[in-house]
Chain A
């Protein structure tokens, strides 16, 4: 298992890492809007770390307990997650700009799932790599369909347990019935959003229409018509008389094309990439571009990246822990190939465990609404303390494992900030130790925000 992940990692990283974007700013003409879109298109092409077929086979083998002690199976499951973190970071370090990888992380967060069992961990990797990544530069509706029908989502939001109350399957049984979870979050979180024009009845009807969708380890996602709720469902004013997967596709088409979905997605993108409170005019223009292009995500990115608001020299957004760690590693000159080569115990301790201490355990968000965006949520003293602890010790440990020295803080400032400013420039080089000098740069407001 380990070696397979390591081998596939290596194949993505065969080429040397390209120069950092900061170098492009200084020695080239700076990135253009089309470079950024190209970056997203390139990100969409990376092959999956685990396919759904492999993940399902893992699920079957795990349950059967073939050949391994239970604790070894658990370790094998955790290796998928550790592999996914390593790969997320390695690709982000290899990418010339990194916008595509950040867009991928954004959509993975929009469709947050958390495995409830070890067996399902590879399925989560399959969801992000097969249902989300190929669509990051495509149409939202394709991503929405792939995610909604993916086994991981059916498990996570209890769809696997849901049965129409008046279905053939439920007749004569007292232990089965409807579960609203996926129906609710499909509306509230994934499409029209909390401010969208739906009510409790729409939630119920959506759950009724989805009843019948189920994941079976042997078959993947199937539609079991015996579990379907009979009758016509009415959702946001549209009737869905049939009980079929095609009818569910029609619902997802309609939800993706809804103006409230356009606004919801535009707002979330703007809040994530621009500012906690982005200008409404930007959101409106992004939503318009989405609707005009029949839901093309790149049309929204084009408005987003071309916006005048991005020219503000003042950093607007606090980097969340994973994004911050990646930015730190880039600034320290760590490449994707370096990350692939780090020993497992060091990687697990310095990266995997540290993300948890900083409040963002990888792919283990507490709820289906994803990580919070508002800066206040990440400014808790314990979370900032965890970053300080990391910045003071992790760079030295990682660089030592790669046979390198920790850089001079002044050099780090010069490399990362084309036009350095702020008290950091004066104070960080005066630190008692080079380790703390580096820590004070990485934890400076100018670096914690972007």
Chain B
């Protein structure tokens, strides 16, 4: 195999195995919209400052039923069903990461920046509203991108751009005759926006199924990845836990775990060639607020799952909870895009210069991985 994977210095960790032939690797990006609390998902119970910040209900660690990962971090109890993946080396986490977004803590801005994969809002690629997944697809000959968004119902920015993509939310029965479709093609004529939407709707109608939004999105995406698609994305909403976080976030975590396991089951043997990345726009405040919740923050956690993941490890440089960003948030010690770029490089085989110049402008592609 052509050794096009060049890794110098950098993160010091191997994020993935290199065992996948070119064109066979699968990537799924699950976007948690609303800002998932990383300190509750992967709880740094070994940090002596945690307890005082979090009150009696949040991030209680192993004493509260969380699952010890490495003697320092513990996984939220509601993510229990993911523990077999952790033990099998198919699950890892990257802690204290963030996008380059700082200070304004707006969901909508933060999500835009994550979706575009750029370093700041002033970049021209944001004006073009092109998402990093779309630019990534453009770097992989023959690849297409599969979207599913029955939870969000909107065409997501993360996939937007000139490269072709196919998308469908498995909820609407179109039921048009051939003649109806032919007529609409005439009516839409040169209006490319409508024409493309029509063709996607008609072509994808065969794909149906699913019940709850996240699980049906995951099942749908898995079917597409077993077939021809190689890159897919969907969102799970509802992470903006300003109040009563303990109850709300447990339900969200169960849904996230179910989505990941649905992907594993649906992908079958292809799971071994798959990396699932779970990201969110930013983290939440280190200190619990007065209403049993947390407010918008900065540093957070990302998940990596899949048979191609070199799992069983919490990556990242832990900043400690005494030195908070702006006195309130988990201090980000790395750009999450560096890790995304490392995965796209090592797992999908995309050249480093394309990643740092085009897909994630300004990010450094650095991984400890040396190709076999």
Q: Which residue numbers of A lie inside 8 Å of B, CB to CB? A: 158, 161-163, 165, 170, 174-181, 184, 188, 194, 199-200, 203, 357, 359, 366-367, 369, 372, 374-377, 379-386, 388-389, 392, 422-424, 426-428, 430-432, 436, 439-440, 443-445, 448
Q: 5 smallest A-B Cβ distances: which pairs?
A: A177-B290, A381-B200, A381-B201, A161-B291, A380-B155
In the assembled complex, the CB of A210 is this many whole angstroms from the nearest CB of chain B, namely 14
A184 touches B180 (CB 8 A): no
A165 touches B108 (CB 8 A): no
In the assembled complex, the CB of B56 is this many whole angstroms from the nearest CB of chain A, namely 8
Complex Cα spacing A359 to B156, Å? 13
The yes or no answer to B103 lying at the interface (CB within 8 A) is: yes
Complex Cα spacing A424 to B152, Å? 32
In the assembled complex, the CB of B246 is this many whole angstroms from the nearest CB of chain A, namely 12
Complex Cα spacing A277 to B205, Å? 33
In the assembled complex, the CB of A382 is this many whole angstroms from the nearest CB of chain B, namely 4
Complex Cα spacing A177 to B175, Å? 54
Chain B positions within 8 Å of A374 at CB level: 129
Partner of A384, one of B175, B198, B326: B198
In the assembled complex, the CB of A147 is this many whole angstroms from the nearest CB of chain B, namely 19
A436 touches B183 (CB 8 A): yes
B168 touches A180 (CB 8 A): no
Chain A positions within 8 Å of B196 at CB level: 379
Complex Cα spacing A388 to B194, Å? 11
Binds A, one of B132-140, B184-192, B254-262, B309-317: B184-192
Complex Cα spacing A82 to B291, Å? 32
Chain A positions within 8 Å of B176 at CB level: 388, 392
The yes or no answer to B177 lying at the interface (CB within 8 A) is: yes
Complex Cα spacing A203 to B237, Å? 24
The yes or no answer to B296 lying at the interface (CB within 8 A) is: yes
Q: Could you jot down 19 A-B contacts, CB within 8 Å?
A: A158-B291, A161-B290, A177-B290, A181-B295, A184-B296, A194-B109, A357-B172, A369-B108, A379-B196, A381-B200, A382-B167, A382-B201, A384-B198, A423-B186, A431-B179, A436-B179, A443-B184, A445-B188, A445-B194
Complex Cα spacing A200 to B174, Å? 47
Partner of A380, one of B153, B174, B290, B291: B153
A379 touches B105 (CB 8 A): no
B201 touches A200 (CB 8 A): no
The yes or no answer to B48 lying at the interface (CB within 8 A) is: no
Task: Name the residue on A nearest B191 (C-beta).
Answer: A445
B174 touches A389 (CB 8 A): yes
In the assembled complex, the CB of B149 is this many whole angstroms from the nearest CB of chain A, namely 7
A427 touches B197 (CB 8 A): no
Whether A381 contacts B197 in the complex (CB less than 8 A), given A179-B293, A359-B154, comes out as: yes
> What are the interface flags for B289-323 relative to A under an 8 Å C-beta threshold, 1 for contact and 0 otherwise?
11111011000000000000000000000000000
Complex Cα spacing A431 to B188, Å? 14
In the assembled complex, the CB of A206 is this many whole angstroms from the nearest CB of chain B, namely 13
Partner of B167, one of A180, A184, A199, A380: A380
Q: B87-117: which residues lie under 8 A (CB-CB) from chain A?
A: 103-109
Task: Name the residue on B nearest A164 (C-beta).
Answer: B290
Complex Cα spacing A156 to B317, Å? 37
In the assembled complex, the CB of B372 is this many whole angstroms from the nearest CB of chain A, namely 41
Complex Cα spacing A151 to B101, Å? 33
The yes or no answer to B173 lying at the interface (CB within 8 A) is: yes
What is the total number of residues of chain B having a CB less than 8 Å from a CB of chain A? 56
Task: Name the residue on B nearest A277 (C-beta).
Answer: B127
A188 touches B106 (CB 8 A): yes
Q: Which residue numbers of B lie inside 8 Å of A, CB to CB? A: 55-56, 103-109, 129, 149-150, 152-155, 160, 167-169, 171-177, 179-180, 183-184, 186-189, 191, 193-194, 196-198, 200-201, 204-205, 237, 242-243, 289-293, 295-296, 326
B108 touches A380 (CB 8 A): no
In the assembled complex, the CB of B202 is this many whole angstroms from the nearest CB of chain A, namely 8
Partner of A381, one of B175, B179, B204, B242: B204
Partner of B193, one of A375, A427, A443, A444: A375
Partner of B290, one of A163, A443, A444: A163
In the assembled complex, the CB of A341 is this many whole angstroms from the nearest CB of chain B, namely 29
B187 touches A428 (CB 8 A): yes
A200 touches B103 (CB 8 A): yes
Chain A positions within 8 Å of B201 at CB level: 381-382, 384-385, 388
Starting from the known contacts A372-B154, A380-B167, A448-B194, 11 additional A-B residue pairs (CB-CB under 8 Å) come to A175-B292, A176-B290, A179-B242, A179-B295, A376-B129, A380-B153, A381-B204, A422-B189, A424-B187, A436-B179, A440-B184
A158 touches B200 (CB 8 A): no
Chain B positions within 8 Å of A385 at CB level: 172, 174, 197, 201, 205
Task: Name the residue on A nearest B188 (C-beta).
Answer: A445
Chain B positions within 8 Å of A379 at CB level: 155, 193-194, 196-197
In the assembled complex, the CB of B201 is this many whole angstroms from the nearest CB of chain A, namely 4
Whether A367 contacts B289 in the complex (CB less than 8 A), given A381-B197, A381-B201, A384-B194, comes out as: no
Complex Cα spacing A305 to B55, Å? 55
Chain A positions within 8 Å of B290 at CB level: 161-163, 165, 170, 175-179
Task: Name the residue on A nearest B200 (C-beta).
Answer: A381
A380 touches B169 (CB 8 A): yes
Task: Name the residue on A nearest B326 (C-beta).
Answer: A200
Residue among A388, A424, A439 with max Cβ neighbours from chain B (10 Å): A388
Task: Name the residue on B nearest A211 (C-beta).
Answer: B290
Chain B positions within 8 Å of A426 at CB level: 186
Complex Cα spacing A380 to B168, Å? 8
Chain B positions within 8 Å of A381 at CB level: 167-168, 197-198, 200-201, 204
Chain A positions within 8 Å of B154 at CB level: 359, 372, 377, 380
In the assembled complex, the CB of B140 is this many whole angstroms from the nearest CB of chain A, namely 23
B289 touches A366 (CB 8 A): no
In the assembled complex, the CB of B21 is this many whole angstroms from the nearest CB of chain A, namely 32
In the assembled complex, the CB of A200 is this many whole angstroms from the nearest CB of chain B, namely 6
A389 touches B243 (CB 8 A): no
Whether A432 contacts B168 in the complex (CB less than 8 A), given A427-B187, A440-B183, A440-B184, comes out as: no
In the assembled complex, the CB of B299 is this many whole angstroms from the nearest CB of chain A, namely 15
